[in-house]
Amino acid sequence: MTQSLTIARPDDWHLHLRDGAMLTAVLPETARHFARAIIMPNLVPPVVTAAQAATYRDRILAALPDGMVFEPLMTLYLTEETDPADVAEAHASGLIKAVKLYPAGATTNSASGVADFDKVRGVLEKMAEIGLPLCVHGEVTDADVDIFDREAVFIDRVLDPIRKATPGLRVIMEHITTSDGVDYVKSNDSDLGATITTHHLIINRNHILVGGIKPHYYCLPVAKREEHRLALRAAATSGDARFFLGTDSAPHTDPNKLSACGCAGCFTATNTMPLLAHIFEEDGALDKLEAFASRNGPVFYGLPVNNTTLTLTKSDIATLFPNQITSDDGPVTVFDPGYPIYWTAS
């Protein structure tokens, strides 16, 4: 017996495509199901100027296979040297849709991020003036803060002061992982939104550590306690317009994931939409999936909802997803939820 659901074509509001051979390998996995994606700028070196964003966009479009339609939504990497005028010009031209804030040292390729937030105040004020959103990796990096507390501390010490000092700044708390993040978004106005990843709706920290370390579940921000996962599920499936999908799909080759100092990131581009259909069905909220994946994000960013569609189909036979994606850099393991999924997307 089959069941189907057709929704407006979804977008991914937080995506890592990397560059070179990896870009070529993983881009089709996103373009197959998603019309657009906010592209993360943490390359090496990072995408910090409009000129760099333009050439990166050209490389993405050149790597898109014939017959696939996909729009990369470019961002700039915020540094303490970022020029407010360059940001404003890039936004006015339509080139960029957001600026990304990484606290220095918070995650992969974040060494060029911000350590002194006073040094970026001019950029943030210009962004508030022109309506350009700020995408935030919401973790402090202080050595005395436990890794499981970094998000909650960031809200108190960094994010809330920034927002109070910069009225009108539109902020997206990316990949929230805690009930603290959910509650903060709910308690604030329409200038604040949050993305939630696929994998944080599925795993908690036990999945990473119990019965042996699972490197392919290791991500940053790291998965938290079960109570936080449940809070994320409730937010995602609520229909609340302030929460929307950002997969944070982050490809790393298996040797880099399985090394003595393994890279953080889950690669979910291949199977996100079937996984979400499973989650939303399990929570009795299939009617809210379109809002989360296809409508809330465009509304927050001031963009039109896609006029094409995606159909999700459920059958009695478990879907077989590939274990890996091959690239010239090496294999990339696809996120495995740990249980059978009966949905496909087309």
User: Distance between CA 143 and CA 192 in Å, rounded?
Assistant: 28
The token pair at 77 is 């990497």
Three-class DSSP category at 203:
coil
Instruction: Say if residues 19 and 59 touch (Cβ distance below 8 Å).
Output: yes
From the list 36, 73, 96, the residue with the least C-alpha distance to 308 is 36
From the list 208, 311, 301, 331, the residue with the least C-alpha distance to 13 is 301
CA distances from 78 to 62, 136, 277 (A): 26, 10, 34
So what's the pLDDT on residue 188? 87
Domains in the chain: ranges and CATH: 3-345 (3.20.20.140)
- 293 φ/ψ angles, rounded to the nearest 5 degrees: -95, -25
User: Distance between CA 29 and CA 42 in Å, rounded?
Assistant: 20
Q: Tens-digit pLDDT profile for the chain (346 aa)?
A: 569 999 999 999 999 999 999 999 999 999 999 999 999 999 999 999 999 999 999 999 999 999 999 999 999 999 999 999 999 999 999 999 999 999 877 676 667 788 888 899 999 999 999 999 999 999 998 999 999 999 999 999 999 999 999 999 999 999 999 999 999 999 988 899 999 999 999 999 999 999 999 999 999 999 999 999 999 999 999 999 999 999 999 999 999 999 999 999 999 999 999 999 999 999 999 999 999 999 999 999 999 999 999 999 999 999 999 999 999 999 999 999 999 999 999 9
So what's the pLDDT on residue 2? 65
Cα distance from N-terminal residue to C-terminal residue, the chain: 18
So what's the pLDDT on residue 104? 79
Instruction: Say if residues 245 and 297 touch (Cβ distance below 8 Å).
Output: yes
Asked whether the CA dihedral 311, 314, 315, 317 is positive or negative, the reply is positive
Total Cβ atoms within 10 A of residue 332: 27
Catalytic residue among 248, 254, 316, 336: 248
So what's the pLDDT on residue 244? 98
The answer to whether 240 is a known catalytic residue is no
From the list 342, 329, 202, 208, the residue with the least C-alpha distance to 264 is 208
pTM reported for the whole predicted model: 0.96
